[in-house]
Chains A and B, each alone.
Chain A
Amino acid sequence: MKKYFLPLFLLSLVMFLTGCEMVVFQPEGPQARSILELINFSIVMMLFVIVVVFALFIYIVWKYRETAKNKDYEPEEEKGSIALEITWTVIPLLIVIALTIPTVLVTFAVEDVPKGYEDKEPITIHVTAADWKWIFSYPEEDIQTVNYVNIPIETPILFKLTSASTMQSFWVPQLGGQKYAMANMENELYLLAERPGTFMGRNTNFNGQGYAYMDFDVVAKTEADYEKWVQDVKQTAPTLTEEKYMHILYPGVVGRMTFNETHLQWVNHADHDAQIFLHQETYRNYYHTKGEGYEREYNTIEPRSSEEGGHNHGKRD
Chain B
Amino acid sequence: MGNGIKFSEILVTGDPLILASQIAILLTSIAIVAGLTYFNKWSWLWREWLTTVDHKKIGIMYIIAGVVMFFRGGMDGLMMRAQTSQPGLEILSSQHYNEVFTAHGVIMILFMAMPLLIGLMNVIIPLQIGARDVAFPQLNALSFWLFFSGAMLFNIAFVIGGAPDAGWTSYFPLAGKEFTPNVGNNYYAISLQIAGIGTLMSGINFIVTILKMRTKGMTLMRMPMFTWTSFIASIIIVAAFPIFTVALGYMALDRIFGTHIFTISGGGEPMHWANLFWLWGHPEVYIVALPAFGIFSEIIATHSRKNLYGYSSMVISIVGIAILSMLVWVHHFYTMGSGPVVNSVFSITTMLIAVPTGMKIFNWLFTMRKGRIQMTNAMLWSLAFIPTFTIGGVTGVMLAMAAADYQYHNTMFLVAHFHYVLIPGVVFAVFAALYYWWPKMFGFTLNEKIGRWHFWLFNIGFNMTFMPMFFLGLKGMSRRMFTYQEGLGWEPLLLVSFAGSLILAAGFAAFCYNIYWSFRYASRDVSNDPWDGRTLEWATASPVQHYNFAKLPEVTGIDAYWKMKKEGTTGLIKEEIEPVHMPSNSGIPFFMGVVFTIVGLFLVFEWLIPALIASFLIFVGLIMRSFDYDDGYYVGVDEVTKTEQSWRGDL
Q: Smallest Cβ distance from A36 to chain B, in angstroms?
A: 8
A70 and B397 alpha carbons, distance in the complex (Å): 39
The yes or no answer to A266 lying at the interface (CB within 8 A) is: no
Q: What are the 4 tightest A-B residue pairs by CB atom distance, in nearest-first order?
A: A20-B489, A177-B406, A80-B310, A204-B410
A203 nearest CB neighbor, chain B only: B478
| Inter-chain contacts of B40 with A (CB < 8 A) | none
Please tell me if the beta carbons of A284 and B372 are within 8 angstroms of each other in the complex: no
Is A60 a contact partner of B368 (Cβ separation < 8 A)?
Answer: yes
Contacts of B635 in A (CB 8 A): none
Asked if A150 is at the interface (CB within 8 A of a chain B CB), the reply is no
Does A50 reach chain B (CB closer than 8 Å)?
A: yes
A50 contacts B394, C-beta separation under 8 Å: yes
In contact, A92 and B304 (Cβ under 8 angstroms)? no
Contact A313 B488 (CB under 8 A): yes
| Residues of A contacting B12 in the complex (Cβ-Cβ under 8 angstroms) | 287
Tell me the residues in window 154-180 of chain A with beta carbons closer than 8 Å to chain B beta carbons: 165-167, 169, 171, 173, 176-180
Cβ–Cβ contact B98 & A278, under 8 A = no
Interface check A84, CB cutoff 8 A:
yes
- How close is B368's CB to chain A, nearest CB, in angstroms? 5
Which stretch of B187-195, B463-471, B612-620, B642-650 is in the interface?
A: B463-471
Alpha-carbon distance between A212 and B479 when the two chains are bound, in angstroms = 9
A56's closest neighbor in chain B, by CB?
B365
Q: Which of B312, B336, B386 contacts A80 (CB 8 A)?
A: B312
Task: Report how many residues on chain A are interfacial, defined by Cβ distance under 8 Å.
Answer: 109
Contacts A53-B361, A280-B177: A80 and B313 contacting too (C-beta < 8 A)? yes
* Minimum distance in angstroms from B421 CB to a CB of chain A: 14
Return the contact of A23 from the options B173, B375, B475 (Cβ within 8 A): B475
A78-B162 contact given A89-B359, A212-B484, CB 8 Å threshold: no
A75–B559 Cα distance when bound, in Å, is: 15
CA distance A80 to B314 in the complex (A): 11
Residues of A within 8 A of B488 (CB): 20, 313
* A77, CB-defined interface residue at 8 Å: yes
Binds B, one of A103-111, A113-121, A220-228, A235-243: A103-111
Contacts A180-B333, A212-B482 known; 10 new A-B pairs at CB < 8 A: A19-B489, A53-B390, A64-B371, A78-B309, A92-B359, A104-B340, A104-B347, A165-B179, A177-B406, A178-B409
Q: How many residues of chain B are within 8 Å of chain A by beta carbon?
A: 111
Tell me, yes or no, whether B51 is within 8 Å of chain A by CB: no
Binary interface encoding of chain A residues 52-84 relative to chain B, with 1 for a CB under 8 A from any of its CBs, else 0: 011011001100111000100111111111001
Q: Is B305 part of the contact surface with A, judged by Cβ < 8 Å? A: yes
Alpha-carbon separation in the docked complex, A75 to B370 (Å): 6
Interface residues of A (CB under 8 A from B): 1, 4-5, 8, 12, 15-16, 19-25, 32, 34-35, 38-39, 42-43, 46, 49-50, 53-54, 56-57, 60-61, 64-66, 70, 73-81, 84-85, 88-89, 92-93, 95-96, 99-100, 103-104, 106-111, 131, 165-167, 169, 171, 173, 176-180, 182-184, 187-188, 200, 202-212, 276, 278, 280-281, 283-288, 290-291, 294, 301, 303, 306, 310, 312-313
Chain B interface, DSSP helix/strand/loop, else mixed: helix
CB nearest neighbor in B for A174: B476
Identify the B interface with A (CB < 8 A). 9, 12-15, 88, 94-95, 98, 162, 165-167, 171, 173-174, 177-182, 264-265, 270-271, 304-307, 309-313, 333, 335-337, 339-340, 343-344, 347-348, 351-352, 354-355, 358-359, 361-363, 365-366, 368-375, 383-384, 386-387, 390-391, 394-395, 397-398, 401-411, 459-460, 463-464, 467-468, 470-471, 473-476, 478-485, 487-490, 492-493
Closest to A275 in B: B265
Q: Are A208 and B476 in touch, CB under 8 angstroms?
A: no
Interface of A: prevailing SS: mixed
Among A79, A182, A200, A306, the residue within 8 A (CB) of B476 is A200
